[in-house]
Copies of this chain bind each other. A is one copy, B any other.
Amino acid sequence: MQALLVENMDGTPRMVPGEYKTPEPADHELLVKIEATALNRADLLQKSGRYPPPEGASSLLGLEMAGVVEKAGADAGWFSPGDAVFGLLPSGGYAEYCVLPESHVIRKPDSLSFEEAAAIPEAFLTAWQALVWLGNLRKGETVLIHAGGSGVGSAAIQLARQMFDARIITTAGKDDKLETCSRLGADLTINYNRDSFDEVIAHHFGESAVDLIIEFIGEPYWEKNIRSLAMDGRLIYLAMMGGARISEMSLTPILRKRLTIRGSLLRNRSQEYKSELIRDFSSQAMDLLMEGKLKPVIDSIYDWKDVEEAHRRMAGNLNTGKIVLTGM
């Protein structure tokens, strides 16, 4: 099959089309003809050699896809050839075909295009894991979602709005991203290039007003996050893009405010964990997805041969929502 391979001739890795062995579905797996895949920041890391895929997984990039079942492996009984599906991959989405456990797949509703469906898994499952499984969000709580213009951020805003009636605060670095956040349901949007989010939150809602924070930044936000958290507050790390080394910090608020601080990645979780997450998410959110009340925010759609241009857009942090590749 055709796939996008990493070529690294002069120290600058770049994606080039090439031949790659078509995978074979094992027991309980599906072979899927990919119609669309979506980009993740992890792709850029993997491309540069800093984020190798889990053992046993394809060496190709690509953490999610939508497509059509081509062939079902032994004991894969829920889906048949011809079924349109979308799902989560440990790697291997930048290709014509992929295999994955059928428990990592969701049936694609007709109301969603392949491009839309491909933009759902990483963003919505990561947001679901962070808000619900790790963050224990309860109805009516106040949640601060950083990077509101990102795929995960925009999904988290929608989930918090539609399913938890939360008070939603979000940060982003561009006003058009913040407009999108407001449209999706954010109550208070903060441009971090103009304002210090902890001060804006304290001004609007008082000190220590935030029950749950979804975090991607790390060191530059540490103090402000801790200050903003309420009694029994939770701080969930999904990335630390601004650095992880803190030069001076106090553990006291952890005890005094009974805080919970936790980190998680989705990719290195067990197959069982992912299956259960997908089952839980789809059983609770599928109706809202079909009705269009939850909707992936799509920044742009590129032909997969233009992947380098798509990568540059993501690396430059220019996208609002997901960047999709199609035309495999």
Contacts and interface: CB of A to CB of B under 8 A. Distances in A.
Given A261-B260, A261-B261, A237 B255 contact: yes
Interface in A98-121: none
Contacts of A252: 240, 244
A254 B245 contact: no
Contacts of A256: 263
A258 interface: yes
A251 interface: yes
Interface string A65-99: 00000000000000000000000000000000000
A222 B246 CA distance: 13
A251 B246 contact: yes
A62 to B, nearest CB: 22
Copies in the complex: 2
Question: Size class of A's contact patch?
Answer: 20 to 34
B248 A245 contact: yes
A256 B264 CA distance: 7
A12 interface: no
A264 B255 CA distance: 5
Interface string A242-286: 001111111110111111111111000000000000000000000
Contact of A244 (B239, B246, B250, B262): B250
A222 B249 CA distance: 12
A321 B176 CA distance: 61
16 contacts: A222-B251, A237-B254, A237-B255, A240-B255, A244-B250, A244-B252, A245-B248, A245-B249, A246-B246, A246-B250, A248-B248, A251-B263, A255-B265, A258-B263, A258-B264, A258-B265
